[in-house]
Structure 1
Amino acid sequence: MTGSTNERTPVHVPRSRSAEHAPGAPAQPLTGRLRLVATVATFGGLLFGYDTGVINGALPSLVSDLRLTPFLEGLVASILPFGAAWGAAFGGRLADVLGRRRVLLILAVVFVLATVGCAAAPTIPVLVAARAVLGLAVGASSVVVPVFLAELAPAHLRGRLVAQNELMLVGGQALAFVVNAGLATAFGGLPHVWRYMLVLATVPALALWIGMTVVPESPRWLAGQGRAEEMRRVLRRIREDAYSPREAEQVLELAARDEDRPHAGLLDLLRVPWLRRVLVLGASMAVINQISGINAVQYYGVSVLQDAGFGGNGAFYANIVPGLVGVAAVALSMVLLRRVGRRRMLLTGLTGTATSLTAFALVQLLVPAASPARAWLVLACIVVFVGFEQCCVGTVTWLYMSEIFPLSVRGVGMGVCAWLLWMMTFVVGLTFPPLTNALGVGWTVLVFVALQLVALVWVHRAVPETRDRSLEELEQHFRAV
């Protein structure tokens, strides 16, 4: 992740809209070919969601079959994000060298092999190792897919396409919750039902591999490799009748500035002042994405709902509701991102998550455990929390990280931010059971509330707007700040 490059001399270019945003020019539509490419690529997001969500329902069976202690339960749940942190750290760099498309093909194979390894694991160490490898693929895809989509899309559709990946992610989580509930009902009395839950992830992994064999490479990556004619051919294919020679020339112009410079690395992000400011923004988005405790809900939702009072398989079915709400919330986000700024959505989302988590904590602390209303109040708070988180925080933070870094450091910058995000996920997943054991669920949730309030202040004071600005325009903006 390290390297060296010279600090670039700022280029003072008047800020202008790209061709598709010129006054009076019609906005480029979402073409059928671009829609197909985005759908195939976002199978990586579906795998991301399924593999992170399936452990939610698999844990009760795992704990029983393998006799997991609380520490081992936390380790099995959190080792995937630990592996994902390192997959994210190096996945972006690998995508810079090999190309976005080729890396996604490799990741599809890793998804299949690691998923089979998890489902067939005979011992706890083998299961932990296989989930760590699966985490590498999840983390790398969490970096490469948003960057790939951001580089394919015209500026006004970038939010919609990157949000589509988030929609597939939460769709994968909801699918995992539904599958878990169905298998728990059908085979809950049998041993090793968790193996069936895990192995089904091979289906979207194979779909990703097959689809990526016909998907083109990122035109902006091709431009960075000096493959100008190939870049134009790809743009013509995915833009169809909306192809803009001006967009192609703008991409080539920026790539030409970087032609004689080596690939940038982490040291460049720390040393160059304007790149350092971008890195701080990206890192803040990574932290904000996780300090709500969303992955505590994703990993331990069934256990939390069982503790709240849902008995039998009721917790499995109740857990489907937040999953479906998450899908609807991201679908709403895809609409809002065309009309509402990233900054405004973040502020709204953080206000909503802090409020709903406060209500959740109060229910845990004040409503008696014997009350029949307690379980339903807890579920209602979780539903509202997931809605705000997935619509306004989760989607926007991934989008923001994918669009703020300039081309020469986009892979490594996104990798650093995703590494931090996944390490935060690992910490939350590993510490949630001990914290709730020591403090109780209510007081633990209030810790997350305090962190949300800090994030709210940070976004209000430090986060600029990026909506409807091309990637090249954003680079010029950050250079000039």
Structure 2
Amino acid sequence: MTAIFVLGALACAFSPDVYTLIISRVFLGLAVGGSTQVVPMYISELAPAHKRGHMVTMFNIAIGIGIFAANIIGFAARDAWGWRPMVAIAAIPAAVVFISMFFLPKSPRWAAEHESLDSALEQLQRIRTSERDIRREMRRIHANANEETDPRDIGWRGLRQPWVRPALVAALGVAFFTQAGGLEMMIYYAPTFLSDAGFGSSSALMASIGISIIYLVMTVLGSNIVDRIGRRRLVLVMGPGSVLSLIGLGIMFLLHPQPGSMGSWLIIAFMLLFMVFNAGGIQVVGWLLGAEMFPLSMRGNATSLHSAMLWGSDLLVTSTALTLVTKITLGGTMWFYAGVNLLSVLFVYFMVPETRGASLEDIEDALREGRFRPTRGNTAIVEEEE
């Protein structure tokens, strides 16, 4: 995948015409789609249960850094460089990752399934410092490796099993709401929306940089608290803030305040508040849940489906956002996305359990035993430590 990143970026930068550029972008998109499936899954299988949330969401932080860097480069070098060097420079970090991959450990769980338990132990010793933790984790891996997997529980066929369905609904539902809540729309179209609202082009671009900064800061904060607060609780706490921010933003857009007035600055404030609540809430857990909810025998297929849902929802939002603005006005569009965010809170409340502190094997056990879905008074996979 990293080799495709390098080649795709260079192909885009040196494209002689628009058709070659489109083909190169599609080629580059293969790397984006593949990496967003593999990376969270790989990290979730390496990370200890009590740090898995933080470590998987480092992936989100990397996305935030990329968005921020792209905005800074685009703002600072838009006249001096032109677009070709700005695209070509993306090949540099991709090349660094390509070289680094040769030195990274294998997933112990993958090694146990495809190589041997000795190989799994060797990989586990590379990423754990406590002998006690190594022994405990190897016992779980050993127990799973010794269990004969039912052929019906493998791959795509496994995802159709009734006992897996609660995880499939929860993970894909959160994936949908992660993108359909409007954050990608805000990142992509904020300069357009603000220009239409009367802000100058430079002010709109600066606001876009502010959005990327908040996305990065809130993702870092969320990554550091998700293992303490929990995935489910984080969304339920932050989600209502997203709803109220979008309602306020819609009101201000409908009022059409004069540039420079208090109302125009409230537009910026509500937009940034939405980024605070959305980036610090469901965006933190959107990629995480898909990487940790599925059994090993079908995890690769499940994470590919999860990634497809994320990017499919992103395509849906970005391809319909401007049409929505035309049909129901900019203010109405914000209210529409407020409704989507409200639905996401309700979905998480009724369908998504708390996975904080649970090992991947604990989550699989909960699925098989029919206690995955949250119920009144019992919303966690494992009991929370006092």
TM-score, structure 1 as length reference? 0.73
**Large movers: runs of 4+ above 3 Å:** 258-263, 369-375
- Which amino acid in structure 1 is aligned with residue 144 of structure 2? L
Please give the residue correspondences for 1:290-439 in structure 2 after superposition, counting only pairs within 5 Å. Answer: 290-370=179-259, 372-439=261-328
> Does the C-alpha gap of structure 1 residues 165 and 415 become closer, same or farther in structure 2, counting only changes over 3 Å?
same
- Which amino acid in structure 2 is aligned with residue 253 of structure 1? A
1:276 aligns with 2:170: no
> Does the C-alpha gap of structure 1 residues 234 and 425 become closer, same or farther in structure 2, counting only changes over 3 Å?
same
Q: Distance in 2 between matches of 1:461 and 1:437?
A: 34
The answer on whether the counterparts of 1:185 and 1:313 sit within 8 Å (CA) in structure 2 is: no
Q: Distance in 1 between matches of 2:192 and 2:28?
A: 23
> Does the C-alpha gap of structure 1 residues 118 and 439 become closer, same or farther in structure 2, counting only changes over 3 Å?
farther
Shift of 1:116: 1.4
Counterpart of 1:154 in structure 2 is 48
Shift of 1:226: 3.7
SS state at 2:257 partner: coil
Highest RCO, 1 vs 2 (Cα 8 Å, sep ≥ 6): 1
Counterpart of 2:135 in structure 1 is 245
1:256 aligns with 2:146: yes
The answer on whether the counterparts of 1:224 and 1:256 sit within 8 Å (CA) in structure 2 is: no
SS state at 2:242 partner: helix
Q: Distance in 2 between matches of 1:414 and 1:258?
A: 23
Shift of 1:261: 4.1
> Does the C-alpha gap of structure 1 residues 159 and 240 become closer, same or farther in structure 2, counting only changes over 3 Å?
same
- Which amino acid in structure 2 is aligned with residue 135 of structure 1? G
1:266 aligns with 2:156: yes
Q: CA offsets per residue over residues 200-250 of structure 1, 9 Å max, x none?
A: 211110111011111111111111114211111111111134552121121
Q: Distance in 2 between matches of 1:370 and 1:247?
A: 60
Shift of 1:134: 1.4
Alignment partner of 2:116 out of 211, 222, 227:
227
Q: Distance in 2 between matches of 1:120 and 1:440?
A: 39
Shift of 1:435: 2.0
> Does the C-alpha gap of structure 1 residues 265 and 369 become closer, same or farther in structure 2, counting only changes over 3 Å?
farther
Instruction: Report sequence identity in percent.
Output: 33
> Does the C-alpha gap of structure 1 residues 314 and 185 become closer, same or farther in structure 2, counting only changes over 3 Å?
farther
- Which amino acid in structure 2 is aligned with residue 442 of structure 1? G
Counterpart of 1:65 in structure 2 is none
Alignment partner of 1:178 out of 54, 58, 72:
72
Q: Distance in 2 between matches of 1:258 and 1:202?
A: 44
Shift of 1:266: 2.6
- Which amino acid in structure 2 is aligned with residue 111 of structure 1? F
Shift of 1:367: 3.4
The answer on whether the counterparts of 1:224 and 1:259 sit within 8 Å (CA) in structure 2 is: no
Q: CA offsets per residue over residues 359-381 of structure 1, 9 Å max, x none?
A: 11111111335554444322222
Counterpart of 1:72 in structure 2 is none
SS state at 1:240 partner: coil
1:123 aligns with 2:17: yes
Shift of 1:263: 7.8
Q: Distance in 2 between matches of 1:260 and 1:276?
A: 17
Shift of 1:453: 1.5
Which one is further off, 346-355 or 436-445? 436-445
RMSD: 1.8
Please give the residue correspondences for 1:24-173 in structure 2 after superposition, counting only pairs within 5 Å. Answer: 107-173=1-67
> Does the C-alpha gap of structure 1 residues 373 and 196 become closer, same or farther in structure 2, counting only changes over 3 Å?
farther
Shift of 1:348: 1.7
SS state at 1:337 partner: helix
SS state at 1:180 partner: helix
> Does the C-alpha gap of structure 1 residues 309 and 291 become closer, same or farther in structure 2, counting only changes over 3 Å?
same
The answer on whether the counterparts of 2:187 and 2:208 sit within 8 Å (CA) in structure 1 is: no
> Does the C-alpha gap of structure 1 residues 119 and 304 become closer, same or farther in structure 2, counting only changes over 3 Å?
farther
SS state at 1:234 partner: helix
- Which amino acid in structure 1 is aligned with residue 182 of structure 2? G
> Does the C-alpha gap of structure 1 residues 460 and 241 become closer, same or farther in structure 2, counting only changes over 3 Å?
closer
> Does the C-alpha gap of structure 1 residues 440 and 125 become closer, same or farther in structure 2, counting only changes over 3 Å?
farther
> Does the C-alpha gap of structure 1 residues 224 and 259 become closer, same or farther in structure 2, counting only changes over 3 Å?
farther
Please give the residue correspondences for 1:8-27 in structure 2 after superposition, counting only pairs within 5 Å. Answer: none
The answer on whether the counterparts of 1:224 and 1:258 sit within 8 Å (CA) in structure 2 is: no
Counterpart of 2:374 in structure 1 is none
> Does the C-alpha gap of structure 1 residues 237 and 265 become closer, same or farther in structure 2, counting only changes over 3 Å?
closer
Q: CA offsets per residue over residues 270-301 of structure 1, 9 Å max, x none?
A: 2x111122111111111111121111112222
- Which amino acid in structure 2 is aligned with residue 165 of structure 1? F
Shift of 1:197: 2.4
SS state at 2:355 partner: coil
The answer on whether the counterparts of 1:152 and 1:219 sit within 8 Å (CA) in structure 2 is: yes
Shift of 1:124: 2.7
- Which amino acid in structure 2 is aligned with residue 237 of structure 1? R
Shift of 1:159: 0.6
> Does the C-alpha gap of structure 1 residues 420 and 291 become closer, same or farther in structure 2, counting only changes over 3 Å?
same
Counterpart of 2:361 in structure 1 is 472
